[in-house]
A and B are shown apart, each in its own frame.
Chain A
């Protein structure tokens, strides 16, 4: 038995000596930038509620707003990000982000059926604030382009979550749940606006 242990341990030592260094999952490059970008909007509640609200309000408004708003938001958000990357200041960024949750949440609570153009302009205006906040952080990211890919995908997924939640609008109870969701979005936005969160 002792002899077997000796042979085995010697074998293991030789094997470990022969093996090369493991280089997996170092976190450099794509994974660092992409994951940071992907998680940034998801872990920031002010961003989460606003982006879910865009999809949810689209569902309240119905077609074509249902798909126009989630297309307008990333496009205008990218313009806001460009301003942030270029170092052009936009006033009241944090207030604008918080206000987006409050306003869009109230639109959902009261089931306000704004005209398509008004809805698109309102969502686009808020998208500039969100985009600027992301764009300012972009140049500091490990891999800025991968970071941008991550946060655009996360934004889109949050819109989809809002649209899926909005499918409850088909029933009366579901409508109540959607309005309650709008109330929660508004409250979270208000908490950020007044510095409670």
Chain B
């Protein structure tokens, strides 16, 4: 019958074998390929995944668009914590129109997105009681401006199909997350300071957008 614990001799032997195995393991493992979509259509899936992620990153790495998305989400939550669903269809319509305008190239890409972020941020900080129809119009314009900024300078066939999906996903996620945060805090913590804190955050977004815009314009002019 073997002992429950290894003897001193077998202990050292176990360490020796283990360290050697570990070394061989580290040397001979292949690179990590998690979520590599291994299978029959490996290349197509990988390409689709890459295009989708590219679409998301192209949206979120665009500073004025990112600031604008955050401002729009916070603004909607400050206006009415559960008000975004009534604006969503108009925002989606703006996204479609914005893609067309972006490919057409009639609007500059950067400045309108910055101006939208600043304007929406000021409206949110002021917490004005805006009628629903006006809010719908505003969100349509926001959809146009953000999407125009992403697609400006490209032609329709430059962008792969899954990149369109990535952009659409990011444009909605970027608004939905701030909306959710404001909704969650305002419904779970029904105190006036919660809304005030979000309004203060809006003023931060405006300050950041204003400085970013001037920095961008200055670097473009140089």
Nearest chain B residue, comparing its CB with the CB of A10: B23
B:1-50 near A, CB below 8 Å:
12, 15-16, 19-20, 22-23, 26-27
Say whether B200 contacts A156, CB under 8 Å.
yes
Q: Considering the chains assembled together, what is the distance between the CA atoms of A15 and B210 in angstroms?
A: 51
Known: A15-B26, A78-B210, A148-B212. 4 other contacts (CB 8 A): A71-B125, A145-B211, A145-B212, A159-B200
Asked if A8 and B210 sit within 8 Å, CB to CB, the answer is no
Q: For chain B, what secondary structure do more than half of its interface residues adopt (helix, strand, loop), or is it mixed? A: helix
Query: Are A152 and B208 interface neighbours, CB within 8 A?
Result: yes
Contact of A148 among B15, B193, B208 (CB under 8 A): B208
User: Could you tell me which A residues sit within 8 Å of B by CB distance?
Assistant: 1, 4, 7-8, 11-12, 14-15, 18-19, 66-67, 70-72, 74-75, 77-79, 81-82, 85-86, 135, 138-139, 144-145, 148-149, 152-153, 156, 159
With CB as the reference atom, state the residue of chain B lying closest to A86. Answer: B214
* Complex contacts, B193 vs chain A, CB 8 Å: 67
B204 close to A152 (CB less than 8 A): yes
A residues within 8 A CB of B161?
none
Of A1, A15, A71, A81, the contact of B200 (CB 8 Å cutoff):
A71
Please provide the chain B residues from 86 to 122 with a CB less than 8 Å away from any CB of chain A in the complex. 122
Q: Main SS of chain A's interface residues?
A: helix
Q: Number of B interface residues at 8 Å Cβ cutoff, please give it.
A: 29
State whether A11 touches B200 (Cβ < 8 A).
no
Q: Contacts A78-B210, A82-B211 hold; do A67 and B200 have CB atoms under 8 A apart?
A: yes
Q: What A residues does B23 contact at CB under 8 A? A: 11-12, 14-15
Question: A75–B218 contact, CB under 8 A?
Answer: no
Measured CB to CB, the nearest residue on chain A to B211 is A148
In the complex, are the beta carbons of A81 and B19 less than 8 A apart?
no
- Residue in chain A with minimal CB distance to B21: A11
Contact B200 A85 (CB under 8 A): no
Interface presence of B54 (CB below 8 A): no
Contact of B215 with A153 in the complex, beta carbons under 8 Å: no
Assembly CA distance A157 to B97 (angstroms): 39
Known: A11-B19, A67-B196, A86-B218. A153 touches B204 (CB 8 A): yes
**16 residue pairs A–B, Cβ–Cβ below 8 Å:** A7-B16, A11-B19, A11-B23, A18-B27, A67-B200, A71-B125, A75-B122, A75-B125, A78-B208, A78-B210, A81-B207, A85-B211, A85-B218, A152-B207, A153-B204, A156-B201
**Which partner residue on chain A sits nearest B201 by CB separation?**
A156
B152 CB within 8 Å of chain A: no
Say which residue of A7, A14, A78, A86 sits within 8 Å of B207 (CB atoms): A78
How many whole Å from B222's CB to the nearest CB in chain A? 10
Judge whether B176 is part of the interface by a CB distance below 8 angstroms.
no
Cα distance, A74 to B204, chains bound together (Å): 6
CA–CA, A18 to B28, complex, Å? 10
Provide the residues of chain A in CB contact with B201, threshold 8 Å. 156
- Known contacts A85-B214, A139-B218: A18-B204 contact under CB 8 Å: no
CA–CA, A15 and B19, complex, Å: 10
Q: A67-B200, A156-B200 are in contact. Are A78 and B211 (CB under 8 A)?
A: yes
Which of A15, A66, A71, A145 is in CB contact (< 8 Å) with B215? A145
